[in-house]
């Protein structure tokens, strides 16, 4: 069932991708089923509470899918999925894949503003969320979201014993288990019912949030076809096979973690989930599970190589660290090579689909200075000038891409799609780049107005729009300030109203009162008499970024 507001591929592209065999009508649910049939007794999923084989995982997923089906979740119904790196995330995600119900993946740190935005944008029918996670109590947020979104019928809590109107995720599985224990066959009518809900692979499998230049996060719909294509060619490019044991500590609701999950299942490997960013926990998991690979963002990698007890752990099983989300400083890469081994792999990727990778065999200069080559050999990448003309090798321009592993448009956002795609269907990445004679891509700058903090894309526009409602703020511009650990932090340049001097703590408290998430909180405030403007009257953020560098010394 086509999702309202979804822009699918052009007819000629769909025919080409199918004819060439790049899209084969394989869903992500099919990927799990195939693994369970070929490797039923192989360990598929590990966390700190359980170990499941592929057969056990499929059984858990199918029972949950039936439970959701009995709840009224149907093909085409969007469901918010806001869970940390717990096994329940994987169960729920693949259960929704089986039902053809797009999973709307939210970060654990998303709060009222973003959650209400995605509820409205996707008309979500249900929400799978923990009652509490770390210091966040979701119950007040749940009340707010339910009041603001009358179409939201169900809240499914994880790790909770609360009674109705809330529903426990475990109870949905146990209800099906209890039906099975009474002798009523689930392998007959219920299996047929589940099979009938299998979506076409060209339909939306999940929706990723992504920051951008227009305020609230945009929704990136990814189909089963393009996600399976990405998983297949990413596994091939990384030479992943059934012996792979992939440790995922980066959030599963991010493309970096999610793509690692999909490519590992595609190659019949084992996924180990880690709900921690502490280097000692990462090292302990590698040693305990004999982990062979792991996706990481540069911030966590930096903490890992600086970990003073690194030498106490046996990390010899590690073959590759796939690092993406932001540029890694060259000194960190060299420290990885010295302290852990030649395991660093540049893993460029976007929620929108384009992925590139270096290889372990590449020269150090390629690994340090470039993002390598496209994972999918059938994705086209090119660099163009301001007129759209393709540029020769080693000349800087805007990086564009198109292909079977790349999305085809933001959900319910026609104006943004006009800006984001060329007439010939190439996606504008918003990055400045050049391509060398060997096909390696070097990112040289950024066109988009975003801040990348620890691998998270943050839109300054939404922060600015909220701050302009502050009684002491006359004008504001938010830019990224360089940070050695996180890459960038948000700095708010504020022109205060006459007689006012808003402090950072006042600004943070105000934003929190408006329902802003931690991602939208500036970490520095600079008060200035006027916001500098460009010739066309916009905030001159280039000048502000230069100013903050000078202030930092």
- Digit-coded pLDDT (tens) for 268-302: 999 999 999 999 999 999 999 999 999 999 989 99
Can you tell me the mean pLDDT for 54-77? Answer: 96
Task: Check residue 191 and give its pLDDT.
Answer: 63
Can you tell me the mean pLDDT for 505-526? Answer: 92
Buried-exposed string 175-193: b where 16+ CB fall within 10 A, e elsewhere: bbeebeeeeeebeeebeee
Find out whether 386 and 192 touch, Cβ atoms under 8 Å: no
Find out whether 358 and 367 touch, Cβ atoms under 8 Å: yes
**Superfamily (CATH) of domain 451-552:** ANL, C-terminal domain (3.30.300.30)
Assign a CATH topology to domain 55-221: Rossmann fold (3.40.50)
CA distance 302 to 331: 10
pLDDT grade, residue 223 (50/70/90)?
A: very high
- Nearest one of 206, 260, 263 to 229, comparing CA atoms: 263
Query: Which helix (H) or strand (E) element contains residue 16?
Result: helix 11-19
Can you tell me the mean pLDDT for 512-526? Answer: 90
Number of residues that this document lists for the chain: 553
Q: Percent of the chain, pLDDT > 90?
A: 78
Can you tell me the mean pLDDT for 316-339? Answer: 94
Instruction: Check pLDDT > 90 for residue 13.
Output: yes
Can you tell me the mean pLDDT for 400-411? Answer: 96
Task: Check residue 214 and give its pLDDT.
Answer: 53
CA distance 246 to 144: 37
- Nearest one of 287, 334, 336 to 307, comparing CA atoms: 336
Can you tell me the mean pLDDT for 145-174? Answer: 90
Can you tell me the mean pLDDT for 80-88? Answer: 97
pTM above 0.75, yes or no: yes
pLDDT grade, residue 61 (50/70/90)?
A: very high
Task: Check residue 185 and give its pLDDT.
Answer: 37
CA distance 120 to 471: 28
Q: Percent of the chain, pLDDT > 70?
A: 96
Can you tell me the mean pLDDT for 410-416? Answer: 94
Least confident of 52-61, 251-260, 445-454: 445-454
Instruction: Check pLDDT > 80 for residue 326.
Output: yes
Least confident of 54-68, 156-170, 246-260, 343-357: 156-170
Task: Check residue 484 and give its pLDDT.
Answer: 87
CA distance 371 to 323: 10
Q: Is 430 left (phi over 0), alpha (psi -120 to 50) or beta?
A: left
pLDDT grade, residue 183 (50/70/90)?
A: very low
Alpha helix stretches (DSSP H) within 267-420: 279-289, 298-306, 330-339, 364-369, 414-420
Least confident of 160-164, 176-180, 385-389: 176-180
Give the residue extent of every domain in the chain: 55-221, 276-446, 451-552
Question: How many other C-beta atoms are found inside a 10 Å radius of the C-beta of residue 15?
Answer: 11
Instruction: Check pLDDT > 90 for residue 465.
Output: no
Between 160 and 232, where is the model more confident?
A: 232
Instruction: Check pLDDT > 50 for residue 182.
Output: no
**Structural class in CATH, domain 276-446:** alpha beta
- Asked if the domains 55-221 and 276-446 are classified in one and the same CATH topology, the answer is yes
* Average pLDDT value for the chain: 92
Instruction: Check pLDDT > 70 for residue 494.
Output: yes
């Amino acid at each position: 069932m086509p999702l309202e507001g979804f822009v699918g591929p052009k007819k000629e592209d769909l025919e080409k991708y199918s004819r060439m065999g790049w899209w084969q009508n394989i869903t992500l649910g099919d990927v799990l089923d195939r693994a369970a049939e070929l490797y039923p007794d192989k360990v598929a999923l590990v966390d700190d509470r359980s170990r499941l084989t592929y057969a056990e995982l499929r059984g858990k997923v199918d029972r949950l899918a039936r439970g959701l089906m009995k709840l009224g979740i149907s093909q085409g119904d969007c469901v918010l999925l806001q869970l940390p790196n717990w096994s329940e995330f994987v169960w729920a995600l693949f259960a929704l894949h089986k039902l053809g119900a797009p999973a709307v993946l939210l970060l654990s740190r998303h709060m009222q503003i973003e959650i209400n935005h995605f509820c409205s944008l996707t008309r979500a029918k249900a929400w799978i969320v923990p009652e509490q996670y770390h210091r966040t109590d979701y119950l007040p947020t749940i009340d707010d979201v339910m009041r603001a979104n009358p179409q939201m019928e169900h809240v499914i809590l994880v790790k909770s014993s609360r009674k109705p109107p809330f529903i426990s995720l475990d109870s949905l599985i146990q209800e099906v288990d209890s039906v099975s224990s009474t002798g009523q066959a689930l392998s007959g009518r219920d299996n047929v019912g589940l099979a009938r809900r299998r979506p076409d692979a060209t339909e939306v499998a999940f929706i990723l949030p992504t920051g951008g230049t227009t305020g609230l996060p945009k929704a990136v719909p990814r189909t089963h076809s393009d996600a399976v294509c990405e998983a297949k060619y990413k596994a091939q490019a990384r030479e992943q096979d059934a012996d792979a044991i992939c440790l995922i500590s980066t959030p599963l609701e991010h493309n970096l973690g999610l793509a690692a999950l999909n490519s590992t299942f595609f190659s019949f490997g084992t996924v180990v989930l880690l709900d921690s960013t502490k280097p000692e926990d990462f090292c302990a998991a590698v040693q305990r599970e004999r982990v062979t690979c792991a996706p990481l963002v540069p911030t966590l990698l930096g903490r890992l190589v600086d970990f003073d007890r690194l030498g106490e752990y046996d990390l010899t099983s590690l073959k590759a660290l796939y690092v993406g989300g932001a540029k890694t400083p060259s000194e960190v890469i060299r420290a990885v090579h010295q302290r852990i081994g030649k395991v660093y792999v540049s893993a460029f990727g976007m929620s929108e689909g384009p992925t590139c990778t270096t290889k372990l065999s590449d020269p150090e200069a390629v690994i340090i200075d470039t993002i390598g080559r496209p994972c999918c050999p059938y994705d086209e990448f090119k660099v163009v000038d301001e007129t759209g003309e393709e540029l020769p090798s080693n000349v800087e321009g805007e990086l564009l891409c198109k292909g079977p592993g790349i999305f085809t448009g933001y959900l319910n956002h026609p104006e943004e799609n006009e800006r984001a795609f060329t007439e010939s269907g190439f996606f504008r990445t918003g990055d400045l780049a050049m391509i060398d004679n060997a096909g390696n891509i070097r990112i040289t700058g950024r066109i988009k107005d975003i801040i990348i903090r620890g691998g998270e894309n943050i839109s300054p526009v939404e922060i600015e729009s909220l701050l302009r409602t502050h009684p002491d703020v006359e004008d504001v511009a938010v830019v990224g300030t360089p940070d050695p650990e996180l890459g960038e932090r948000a700095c708010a340049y504020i022109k205060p109203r006459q007689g006012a001097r808003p402090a950072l703590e006042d600004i943070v408290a105000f934003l929190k009162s408006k329902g802003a998430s931690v991602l939208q909180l500036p970490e520095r405030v600079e008060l200035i008499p006027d916001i500098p403007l460009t010739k066309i009257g916009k905030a001159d953020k280039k000048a502000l970024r230069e100013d903050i560098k000078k202030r930092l010394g």
